[in-house]
Amino acid sequence: MTMYEIRIHSRGGQGGVTAARLLALSAIHDGKYATACPFYGAERRGAPIVSFVRIDDKPIKIYSQIKKPDMVVVLDASVMDVVDVLQGLKKGGHVFINSAGKREFAGFSASHVDLTSIALKENLVVAGSPILNTPVLGALAKMGIISVDSAKKSIREMFTDERNVKAAEAAYKEVSA
C-alpha cells in the first residue's frame, strides 16, 4: 500500500475531528501506520471544519494538511456551498458523502449513505446535532479503508455507548455507490 490520504469535511459539532481519530486508530488496529490531523481555528459549532488522515504500511513522517487527497469525505453537504471539497482530489479519487440519494461528481467515483438518519435513529445527538463520527466509520469499513472489526474495536475504546457500534453497523450495511 502506498500512502492513502483522506480529507474529511464537516461542521463543528458533527464529530469530524473524532471521525479522523477513530479512522486512524482503526487503521492502526489493522496493522497499518496512521495519523489524524484536524485543522480549525476558533471555530464554533456549525462552522466548516477539515480533518486529515494518512494511512500507510510504513511509518508516516508527515503531519500536515492534505492538499491532494485520494478520498474526500463530506459529512455535511451544505459545506460544499462554502468550501470546494473537490479541490486537489487526485484524478480518479473517491468522494464519500452523507446523503440520502446518489450524488455525481464528474471525474470521480462516489458513494453515499444517509448518516444523519442513522445517527437520529440511534439518538446519537449532542446539542441538537446528529453525531456522524461512528456511522461514517462503518461506511469507510464497507469501502475497504479499514476492517469492520477494527472499526468496532476503535469505537468501543472511545465510547461506552453501544449505540455507536449499532450506527456503524447500519452504515456498513447501507452504504452504496
Summarised one tens digit per residue, pLDDT across range 151-164 is 999 999 999 999 99
Domain range spanning residue 49? 4-174
Q: What's residue 41's pLDDT?
A: 62
Kindly report the number of other CB atoms within 10 A of residue 31's CB atom.
9
Identify the pLDDT of residue 58. Answer: 96
Instruction: Give how many domains the chain has, as a whole number.
Output: 1
pLDDT at 63: 85
Predicted TM-score (pTM) of this structure: 0.94
pLDDT of residue 134: 96
Low-confidence ranges of the chain (pLDDT < 50): none
> Nearest CA to 48 among 90, 17, 20?
17
Dihedral pair phi/psi, residue 90, rounded to 5°: -60, 150
State residue 177's pLDDT score.
65
pLDDT at 127: 83
List the CATH number of the domain containing 34. Answer: 3.40.920.10
Quote the pLDDT of residue 31: 97
